[in-house]
Amino acid sequence: MGKYEVEIQGFKLKVTHVDHAALIDNNISVFKTLLQKRRVAGIDVKFNHRCTKKAEMLILCVGNRCLVIQLCHLGSIPESLKKFMSDETICFVGTEMSSKVASIGKHNLRCKTGVELGHLAARILKKPHVSEFGIAKLGREAGLNSVSAGFRGSPPSSWSSRAFSNEQIMLAINEAYTCYVVGNKLLGMVD
């Protein structure tokens, strides 16, 4: 397990990296308290590059917290994570959601409320053409001028490693965090 404090797009984030099932329960409890106002979570999945579509890492972001879960080292999936991911009152926002939801399904995690960020933006903004935009452009369409195109860095040779540099953690969480920020802004427009 590792704890990191990183800054992305001017915001300080607390990141917890877990590789053991017993460490997940407390982190899921913290996420639940952060979801009181708006029930949206950013999500990303990192894959093993040598084996197609094998999910190595699940990244969840809510508020200023990110949880990096190494699925490949858990052994068993804790009930708290299963219940969190299957909670149909939470909107899990990300990119390439159909392949990511399918990949975590192989780890016995069900996510019925995974929403493609572009689709969400197109529906809320009533602009069908934006569904094909990248994350940064979707952020600008939602009125977030500070959303960047992405963190640039060198990914690790494998996402199954047990230790990561701050740069690699920032690279791991960037997409999930940015999807959370944009998704949260979009859903705030319909509150």
Q: What is the CATH number of the domain that holds 123?
A: 3.30.420.10
Which tens digits make up the pLDDT trace of 42-64?
999 998 766 566 788 999 999 99
**Residue 37 to residue 119: CA distance in whole angstroms:** 22
What local confidence, expressed as pLDDT, does residue 22 receive? 84
Q: Quickly state the pLDDT bin for 23 (edges 50, 70, 90).
A: confident
pLDDT the model gives residue 148? 65
Rounded to whole angstroms, the Cα distance separating 26 from 116 reads 28
Q: What is the pLDDT of residue 85?
A: 96
Q: Is pLDDT at 9 greater than 80 in this prediction?
A: no
Average pLDDT over residues 173-186: 94
pLDDT at res. 145? 78
94/39 Cα distance (integer angstroms): 14
Average pLDDT, the chain: 89
Is the distance from CB of 106 to CB of 90 less than 8 angstroms?
A: no
Asked if pLDDT for residue 185 goes beyond 90, the answer is yes
Convert the pLDDT of each residue in 76-131 to its tens digit.
899 999 999 999 999 999 999 999 999 999 899 999 999 999 999 999 999 999 99
Taking a C-beta distance cutoff of 8 angstroms, is the pair 104, 55 a contact? yes
The structural domain count of the chain equals 1
pLDDT of residue 164: 86
Return the minimum-mean-pLDDT range out of 36-40, 136-140, 145-149.
Answer: 145-149
Domain extent at residue 24: 2-188
What share of the chain has pLDDT > 70, as a percent? 93
Helix (H, G, I), strand (E, B) or coil at 169: helix
* Average confidence (pLDDT) over 16-32: 90
